[in-house]
């Protein structure tokens, strides 16, 4: 039982959760019935009506508004992308960075955030890393600032150990120093409440295949519209303020859209966008804060069971510092991953152990099944501490 929502009812919407112990939402969430039905509806419309594209595009704008509402933005600040990596690359290349400028990042952050900025080294941009600790806030960046600092980019929640960083304090620092701020919310969106204005970022990027419940191939980019001078590195008809009705390109018609649409290339992943609309309806019905609190409670239960078994948790323990849903247990992945798979338990290998990542459909029974499986095999050697 959960005091936040009817977990049993939600669990029935995820049939895979009944067929296995699914503790891998940080990799991807299993398909839910509402999302599956949205895909099927799209395919039926395309099959029966040869593709009502105008209707699909109208729905796309409705979904854009839902994404905006989820993070406290306006629809004109949301662009659809292919994934988080594309969002981060769009952001990195749109920033006014040149030779001698420095971007600060966190050592060990997600590689597809880091590579987007390392790629700017060809322009003479420097990337400098600060240490990753359980607490990362504005104070951690202060000793590393100098006259060349122009931007900070970081994840809100880390994928490998579930750190939840104080992005709002970093956003305030960037505003005070007039730095650009880029945030990857892939591992937070849909589980951790996000307020784009409180974060104060220039760009926020994410995919949708984790907390937003849609299979891979769709992402979004939030663009703070007050930074009107930022431009895409590429240009397509979809990004123009006045797309030519006759589809003839003209040099005197290259003004960019005043919205985040300037960063889009068109030919959207329409079936996934329609599925995202259904997923967002489900998330809204439950409430992100309720999902967060449910996962926190399950995380507390997991930590208690690990402590009883003498197995280390890799990463932060306190709610103020950890994500609600990502936990790495100190068991070597090369020894344990196949064992869990053989016992119908889905988890992921990570740098320092086995990652358990929770979703809205998980229960204490899932945690207990994991720990029972560990107990059956036994821990033959000391687990690795954080």
Complete DSSP assignment for 288-324: HHHHHHHHHHHHHHHHHHHHHHT-PEES--STTTB-S
Distance CA 233, CA 279 (A): 31
Question: What CATH architecture is 35-284?
Answer: 3-Layer(aba) Sandwich (3.40)
Distance CA 289, CA 184 (A): 19
Distance CA 386, CA 342 (A): 27
What pLDDT, on a 0 to 100 scale, did the predictor assign at position 380? 64
Q: Please list the residue range(s) of the chain that carry CATH number 3.40.640.10.
A: 35-284
The interaxial angle of helices 270-286 and 33-49, nearest 10 deg, is: 150
Which pTM was predicted?
0.95
DSSP 256: B
What pLDDT, on a 0 to 100 scale, did the predictor assign at position 386? 41
What pLDDT, on a 0 to 100 scale, did the predictor assign at position 381? 52
- Collapsing DSSP to helix, strand or coil, 267 comes out as coil
Closest by alpha carbon to 174, among 193, 191, 190, 198? Answer: 198
User: 309 with 367: CB under 8 angstroms?
Assistant: no
User: 349 with 329: CB under 8 angstroms?
Assistant: no
CA distances from 189 to 13, 165, 183, 186 (A): 20, 14, 11, 6
Closest by alpha carbon to 280, among 338, 353, 220? Answer: 220
What pLDDT, on a 0 to 100 scale, did the predictor assign at position 51? 86
Fold of 7-30+287-377: 3.90.1150
104: left (phi over 0), alpha (psi -120 to 50) or beta: beta
Closest by alpha carbon to 14, among 38, 37, 32? Answer: 32
The sign of the torsion formed by the CA atoms of 244, 249, 252, 253 equals: positive
Distance CA 368, CA 182 (A): 38
Q: Please list the residue range(s) of the chain that carry CATH number 3.90.1150.10.
A: 7-30+287-377
Q: What does the block give as tokens for 368?
A: 């207990």
Residue 175's H or E segment, with its range, is: helix 167-177
Query: What residues does 314 pair with on adjacent strands?
Result: 328
pLDDT tens across the length of the chain (386 residues): 789 999 999 999 999 999 999 999 999 999 999 999 999 999 999 999 998 999 999 999 999 999 999 999 999 999 999 999 999 999 999 999 999 999 999 999 999 999 999 999 999 999 999 999 999 999 999 999 999 999 999 999 999 999 999 999 999 999 999 999 999 999 999 999 999 999 999 999 999 999 999 999 999 999 999 999 999 999 999 999 999 999 999 999 999 999 999 999 989 999 999 999 999 999 999 999 999 999 999 999 999 999 999 999 999 999 999 999 999 999 999 999 999 999 999 999 998 899 999 999 999 999 999 999 999 998 865 444 44
DSSP 24: B
Distance CA 157, CA 143 (A): 22
What pLDDT, on a 0 to 100 scale, did the predictor assign at position 160? 92
What pLDDT, on a 0 to 100 scale, did the predictor assign at position 1? 73
Query: What residues does 356 pair with on adjacent strands?
Result: 327
Distance CA 302, CA 329 (A): 10
Distance CA 191, CA 29 (A): 12
């Amino acid at each position: 039982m959960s005091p936040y929502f009817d977990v049993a009812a939600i669990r029935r919407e995820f049939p895979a959760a009944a067929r296995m112990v699914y503790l891998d939402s940080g990799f991807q969430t299993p398909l839910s019935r509402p999302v599956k039905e949205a895909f099927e509806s799209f395919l039926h419309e395309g099959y029966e009506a040869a593709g009502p594209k105008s209707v699909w595009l109208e729905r796309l704008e409705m979904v854009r508004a839902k994404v905006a509402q989820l993070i406290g933005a306006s629809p004109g600040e949301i662009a659809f992308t292919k994934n988080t990596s594309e969002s981060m690359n769009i952001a990195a290349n749109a920033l006014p960075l040149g030779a001698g400028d420095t971007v600060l990042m966190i050592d060990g952050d997600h590689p597809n955030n880091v590579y987007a900025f390392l790629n700017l080294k060809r322009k003479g941009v420097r990337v400098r890393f600060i240490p990753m600790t359980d607490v990362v806030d504005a104070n951690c960046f202060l000793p590393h600032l100098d006259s060349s600092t122009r931007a900070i980019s970081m994840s809100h929640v880390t994928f490998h150990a579930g750190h939840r960083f104080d992005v709002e304090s970093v956003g305030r620092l960037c505003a005070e120093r007039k730095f650009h701020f880029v945030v990857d919310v892939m591992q937070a969106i849909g589980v951790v409440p996000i307020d784009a204005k409180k974060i104060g970022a220039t760009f926020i990027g994410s995919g949708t295949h984790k907390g937003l419940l849609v299979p891979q191939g769709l992402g979004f980019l939030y663009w703070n519209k007050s930074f009107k001078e930022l431009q895409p590195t590429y240009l397509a008809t979809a990004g123009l303020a006045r797309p030519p009705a006759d589809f003839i390109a003209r040099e005197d018609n290259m003004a960019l859209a005043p919205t985040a649409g300037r960063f889009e290339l068109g030919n959207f992943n329409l079936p996934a966008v329609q599925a995202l609309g259904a997923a967002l309806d489900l998330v809204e019905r439950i409430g992100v804060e309720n999902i967060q609190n449910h996962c926190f409670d399950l995380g507390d239960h997991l930590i208690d069971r690990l402590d009883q078994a003498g197995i280390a948790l890799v990463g932060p323990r306190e709610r103020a510092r950890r994500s609600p849903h990502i936990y790495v247990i100190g068991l070597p992945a090369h020894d344990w991953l196949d064992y869990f798979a053989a016992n119908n338990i889905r988890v992921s290998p990570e740098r320092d152990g086995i990652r358990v990542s929770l979703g809205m459909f998980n229960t204490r029974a899932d945690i207990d099944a994991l720990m029972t499986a560990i107990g059956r095999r036994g821990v033959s050697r000391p687990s690795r501490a954080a």
